[in-house]
Amino acid sequence: MSKVENWPPPNIDWYYADDSCAIANADCRKILPLLPTVDFVLTDPPYEIVATGGGIGAQRQYLADITDFTDCGFDMGILQSFHSWACFCSKTQLQELLQQVGNRRWMLVTWNKPNPTPLSNGNYLPDTEYIIHAWKAGNLHGGFRDKSRFIVYPCQQDKSHPNEKPIPVILKMLRMGTQAGDLVLDPFMGSGTTLRAAKDLGLRAIGIEISRDYCDIAIQRLRQSVLDFSTPKPEPIKQMELSSYELERSGIKQSPFIGETDGNISEMQGDEAMWQEIHDDLQRG
Ligand SMILES: C[S@@+](CC[C@H](N)C(=O)[O-])C[C@H]1O[C@@H](n2cnc3c(N)ncnc32)[C@H](O)[C@@H]1O
């Protein structure tokens, strides 16, 4: 766990700071060398977007909507100095990002969207996002159910950033990468989803964002009171999509998507190796 003596960390011109979160409105490459040691980097950097061919993907307005500041890729070498990180990436970035893993342990986690943009353009649907989670031994946290390699959660329609990630997706990754008292960093903060979720978990977090407009949106989100998961969600589909964190807080009694099992895995579907691992864990109690 990092020991942050002074909060917010000194020698940085913070655009915003409260008891748990600090935001720098800057190019992250200028701020990173000034930061104290952080425990976990969770970030969703600019993708390299390849939109070829016809269809909606080639339409100017669509590209303009999704590419402002976000299609230029990023210098993946910045991850090298952090012992534990989780990074969203496009398919194009996977290979290079995996080269940053080095001697850390790692896992490919996917966020699967049941309501993808209807944009297939002769290819697979854009219904899956990739997250590489890399950690030094001893730094994988989270409960049993957080350890699933996939997250099923719909895309949000009412977004304040074109690439805004759903809070439950971010909460799961934070639980996997942190424990109480940890300091989180998101160097490509966007609308502040990582900071908002970190605050809800009682963690400290630093966000860096080059666009002032997105910094302002993040500040608004941080000023809202801590999210209240106490009202049970009535729709079954929503319940299916709630994370274990939300389920715990809402008191909803629901079988997790892995199914309450008596150890019989024959009816389960999916990655056999993963189900076998879950089965073995259950057998061990
Ligand atoms: C994919 S978006 C992050 C969206 C975020 N996950 C959310 O939920 O809102 C990436 C962000 O990185 C920002 N960005 C791009 N280059 C940057 C840089 N060099 N330093 C800091 N932020 C940068 C962009 O402005 C964009 O908001």
Assigned domain for 191 exists: yes
Q: Residue 183's pLDDT is what?
A: 98
Q: Kindly state whether residue 165 falls inside one of the protein's structural domains.
A: yes
The answer to whether residue 66 sits within a structural domain is yes
Q: Decide whether any atom of ligand 1 lies within 6 Å of the 46 Cβ.
A: yes
Q: Is the CB–ligand 1 distance for residue 210 below 6 Å?
A: yes
In-domain check, residue 260: no
Q: Which helix (H) or strand (E) holds 98?
A: helix 91-98
Give the HSE-up count for residue 191: Cα atoms under 13 Å, Cβ half-sphere.
Answer: 14
How far from 232 is each of 119, 154, 158, 254, CA to CA, in Å? 33, 18, 21, 11
pTM, to two decimals = 0.77
Ligand 1 and 191: CB distance under 6 A: yes
Quickly count: other Cβ atoms within 10 Å of residue 198's Cβ.
Answer: 29
**Domain, as residue range, for 74:** 16-254
Q: Residue 273 has what pLDDT? A: 57
Instruction: State if residue 70 touches ligand 1 by the CB under 6 angstroms criterion.
Output: yes
Element holding 131 (H helix, E strand): strand 128-135
Query: How confident is the model at residue 159, as a pLDDT?
Result: 84
CATH of the domain at 97: 3.40.50.150
Residue nearest to atom 3 of ligand 1 (CA): 190
> If you take atom 12 of ligand 1, which residue's CA is the nearest one?
188
pLDDT at 48: 60
For residue 261, tell me if it sits in a domain. Answer: no
Domain count for the chain: 1
CA 268 to chain centre: 26
pLDDT of residue 120: 85
pLDDT one digit per residue (tens) for the chain, 285 residues: 566 789 999 999 999 999 999 999 999 999 999 999 999 999 999 876 554 444 444 443 333 344 444 445 578 989 999 999 999 999 999 999 999 999 999 999 999 999 998 888 899 999 999 999 999 999 999 999 999 999 999 998 888 888 999 999 999 999 999 999 999 999 999 999 999 999 999 999 999 999 999 999 999 999 997 655 444 443 443 434 455 555 555 444 433 333 233 333 333 334 455 555 656 666 565
Structure token digits, residue 227: 């999210």
Give distance in angstroms: CA of 282 to centre of ligand 1: 40
Give CA–CA dist 76/35, Å, rounded. 18
Q: Is the CB of 164 under 6 A from ligand 1?
A: yes
Q: How far apart are alpha carbons 40 and 29 in whole angstroms?
A: 17
Rama region for 100: left / alpha / beta (φ>0; ψ in -120 to 50; rest): alpha
Q: CB of 31 closer than 6 A to ligand 1? A: no
